[in-house]
């Protein structure tokens, strides 16, 4: 069971590195939201269901919506 946690941790770090590196701002912001969602699954592995629900609803849904609105109102690309 611990190998699933290893795989999810590698996915989280990979998405974070890719999100900082890309030039397209919309793709970077969506990868950031995906990384938050996988961290929420990691919270379930650490036996914390309250924190997982809070991170999934606030960190991965509302924060990503705010980011996407900001990217749409300003330039959508360009490093």
Q: In the bound complex, what is the minimum distance in angstroms from residue 52's beta carbon to another protein?
A: 8
Measured CA to CA, the distance from residue 60 to residue 37 in angstroms comes to 6
39 sits near another protein (criterion: CB under 8 A): yes
Alpha carbon distances (Å) from 22 to 26, 31, 64, 77: 9, 10, 17, 10
Nearest Cα neighbor of 35 from 59, 2, 53 is 59
71 sits near another protein (criterion: CB under 8 A): yes
Residues engaged in binding another protein (CB under 8 A): 5-6, 9, 12-13, 16-17, 19-20, 25-26, 28-29, 32, 35-36, 39, 42-43, 46-55, 57-59, 61-63, 65-67, 69-79
């Amino acid at each position: 069971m611990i190998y699933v946690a290893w795989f999810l941790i590698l996915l989280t770090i990979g998405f974070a590195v890719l999100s900082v590196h890309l030039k397209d701002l919309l793709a970077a912001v969506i990868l950031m939201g995906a990384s938050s969602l996988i961290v929420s699954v990691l919270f379930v592995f650490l036996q914390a269901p309250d924190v997982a629900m809070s991170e999934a609803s606030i960190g991965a849904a509302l924060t990503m919506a705010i980011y996407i609105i900001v990217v749409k109102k300003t330039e959508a690309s360009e490093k």
